Copies of this chain bind each other. A is one copy, B any other.
């Protein structure tokens, strides 16, 4: 049974900071946001987790394997190296959406995202080491079938992008409402979804739904593990099986 540990990473007071005393150069904001995300990806990723850039001022991570001390160290390190600080909420549960919701509430209770005095809050709880199992995390890695042949080498780059965005927008809503799952576009034509205990039929149905709704053809590899990296790496291998065998859904167990 899944027991997903989800952390919400929120930059403190970011909206006001970006325009105080004057609006800042957009290219510099993009650079800083991306490098901050990249650093968090290394920190979380090196401990077996995944973090998704999401909205950049709010990032969602699957942090099974990271302790609260780890979260505190991440906060401290960012505070030493960036002109902004982070607040973090951590929660766990069978349902990824519920865990994310609980994590969000922890941060919201500490104060508004634009509350000048709310800085570096850290609240929540992690999955205790003795309670961790190989089923805690289920990751599904979707991609568009032959995106290069269908889109990238054929359409203009923005129309390719529109197709992939429409596919992502449809999948993200469906997986959240039908399956309590959190879906993230990760570049190229790839979407990684954090799921509870779903089965092949659920993935087949999701793929059909997206194809019917927006005419984007997806395939998916699914993996499980005690942390996001293990589950996700299995999912990547399962996806390679889809590519090799021409199948639409492959579960790595």
Contact = CB atoms under 8 A, between A and B. Distances in A.
A160 B108 CA distance: 13
Residue of A8, A155, A162 ringed by the most chain B CB atoms within 10 A: A162
Interface string A9-45: 0100011000100011111111111110111011111
Contact of A27 (B50, B168, B172): B50
Nearest to A221: B23
A46 B26 contact: no
A58 B161 contact: yes
Copies of this chain, how many? 4
A41 B73 CA distance: 14
Given A81-B32, A97-B158, A113 B152 contact: yes
Nearest to A39: B42
A187 interface: yes
A93 interface: no
Contact of A53 (B34, B51, B83): B34
Contact of A176 (B23, B162, B168): B162
A182 interface: yes
Contacts of A169: 165-166, 169
Interface in A38-90: 38-39, 41-46, 49-51, 53-58, 60, 73, 76-77, 80-83
A27 B46 contact: yes
Contact of A28 (B45, B54, B100): B45
A112 to B, nearest CB: 5
B27 A45 contact: yes
A94 to B, nearest CB: 16
10 contacts: A28-B42, A30-B53, A55-B188, A56-B188, A57-B187, A58-B161, A104-B157, A112-B148, A162-B172, A165-B169
Can you list the 4 inter-chain pairs with the closest CB atoms, starting with the nearest?
A27-B45, A56-B187, A101-B156, A28-B80
